[in-house]
Amino acid sequence: MSTRAPGNTLSAAKKRNTPALRDLLHRAVRRFFVSRGFAEVSTPVRLTTPALEPHIDALHDGDAWLRTSPEFQLKRRVMCGAGKIFEIGPCYRAGEQGRLHNTKFTMLEWYETGADYRRLITFTNDLIREVVHEINGEPRFDYQGATIDCSGTADLMTVDNAFRHFAGTPSADAVQAGRFEELLAADIEPRLGRTRPMFLTDYPIEQAGFVKAHNDTPDVCERWELYIAGVELANAGSELTDAADYRQRFVAAAAARRALGRTEYPIDDEFLEVIAAGLPPHAGCALGLDRLLMLLADKVDIQAD
Amino acid sequence: MGDVSILKKGRKIVIDNQPWEVTDFDFCKPGKGQALYRCKLKNMMTGATMDRTFRSSDRIEQANMEECDCVYSYKSGDQYVFNDNDTYDEIFIKEQVLAGRHVYLNENDTCKILFFNQEPLEVTIPFFAELCVTETEPGVRGDTATNVTKAATLNNGIEVQVPLFVNQGDFIRVDTRTGQYVERSKKA
């Protein structure tokens, strides 16, 4: 029998009732953001052009595209002076279906003006701790026989250290050899966040998305990902601010998609116009709420409901 | 050649001209990177297994598999002849394709044949066969303390372990997948 706090005796029943657990999760998340001065927003799901990324494919909906993330709509809001905003809503990624993937999934995404990726680590660590505490009565939860302790300060490891330690090769070499994803998935991810949430930081610039390069070491970028029990839960970074940088990344992504034979998406000229004067410094994070729900429900498959 | 997105558990693909079945499948997409399709595969000809990870840029060939419903007709030399239910064609199957289960075949048994590139790869015969016990020791009543089964030879020549109450001349049901006794048959 458990000798932990009384709140924990409810957790077994909560785990079985996933819709009720989802309700608790969403409420806890909203409470956290509201308490930190964030405003909840709702941005368009149907877009004239989807986010231009090499490996993310959008679903076509008549003459529009379904969003793969709310990133560019939220950044428009940041441009218009929104200081702290968050959104919880559906996103759609074509061809993504599996144990941890659903074509349609629920994303929690937020942006904070004036913050950088380091500040977001503490913030996100606090988010996880407080949400778990609210749902489970204590800042820890059991997952597949192990206890995940969310009570401490953030656990960090750089991507390069993780590659050297778990895959036996520097991350730059893995990128060169075209084996970054393979080694990450096979050797590194399963080892991360087994007992405490783990933040994997400083990704190679080739994997930057729309995040800034490091000032001192431009071959890495100011990006991190959160792992719990080997599951990739969130992706965050110090975001690009200059329209020219965005255009450069869009062009590179378009070229990469062309080379891979993927559907071409138009460059979001409207977005570039909106941010022409430059975005304020800001940082953002995208978290897969369905995966967090899966972990809290002690399930191994995101489909299981 | 097709897209890797067809990969899933149960899919049959060709690698080095041989048919492999996906026995386990995991879709992975770490971070901002490309998707990985991590498969456990089983060679349908040799039974060998292997792990292989495919990337979204890989091309894979789906195995050209066809299945036909047929009926076992007769034995001709060392080949077993089946009749296709749709076309009434005769299909000649070598004994090794039956992997030892030729001993269970009875005339008019309903079977399925799986073809790979028009070559017979696997034959699925009925899961149960009715066979007659041609030789066995009489079961001694009350002898359950020491033995619960005894050996019996069946009309197809194979030997199985049967309960003590089974007698010579009885018909029994055998599981063709395991070669084990199932129950006494209703057949007289």
Residues in B touching A261 (Cβ below 8 Å): 57
The three state secondary structure string of B136-166 is: ECCCCCCCCCCCCEEEEEECCCCEEEEECCC
Maximum average pLDDT range among A158-167, B48-57, B84-93:
A158-167
Give the HSE-up count for residue A54: Cα atoms under 13 Å, Cβ half-sphere.
21
| Continuous segment of H or E residues that includes residue A269 | helix A269-274
**Residue B143 Ramachandran class (φ > 0 left, ψ -120 to 50 alpha, else beta):** alpha
Residues 6+ away with beta carbon under 8 Å from A259: none
- According to DSSP, the β-strands at A198-201 and A155-158 are parallel
The SS3 assignment for B129 reads: strand
Alpha carbon of A295 to those of A33, A158, A196, A231, A236: distances in Å?
A: 21, 24, 13, 9, 20
CA distance B136 to chain A (A): 52
pLDDT of B38 above 60: yes
The CA distances from residue B106 to B122, B176, B185, in Å, are 18, 12, 15
Would the CB atoms of A232 and B36 count as touching at under 8 Å? Answer: no
Q: Among A55, A103, A181, A203, pick the best mutation site for testing chain B contact (most B Cβ within 10 A).
A: A181
Shortest Cα distance from B65 to chain A (angstroms)? 25
From first to last of the 305 residues of chain A, give the pLDDT tens digit: 444 444 444 466 666 678 899 999 999 999 999 999 999 999 999 999 999 999 999 999 999 999 999 999 999 999 999 999 999 999 999 999 999 999 999 999 999 999 999 999 999 999 999 999 999 999 999 999 999 999 999 899 999 999 999 999 999 999 999 999 999 999 999 999 999 999 999 999 999 999 999 989 999 999 999 999 999 999 999 999 999 999 999 999 999 999 999 999 999 999 999 999 999 999 999 999 999 999 999 999 998 65
Pick from B35, B38, B53: CB nearest A55 = B35
Q: Which residue has the higher pLDDT, B8 or A12?
A: B8
Q: How far apart are CA B182 and CA B185, in angstroms?
A: 9
* Contacts of B55 by beta carbon, 8 Å cutoff, 6+ apart: A181, B4, B34, B35, B36, B37
Across the beta sheet with B119-124, the strand order is B90-94, B79-84, B65-76, B110-116, B119-124
ipTM: 0.84
Residue B186 pLDDT = 74
Enter the tokens of residue B172. Answer: 């029994």
Contact residues of A toward B, CB < 8 A: 53-56, 95-101, 180-182, 184-186, 189, 203, 207-209, 225, 232, 235, 260-261
For B36, the closest of A182, A235, A260 (CB atoms) is A182
Please, is A24 exposed, middle or buried when counting C-beta atoms within 10 Å of its C-beta (0-12, 13-18, 19+)? middle
Whole-prediction pTM: 0.82
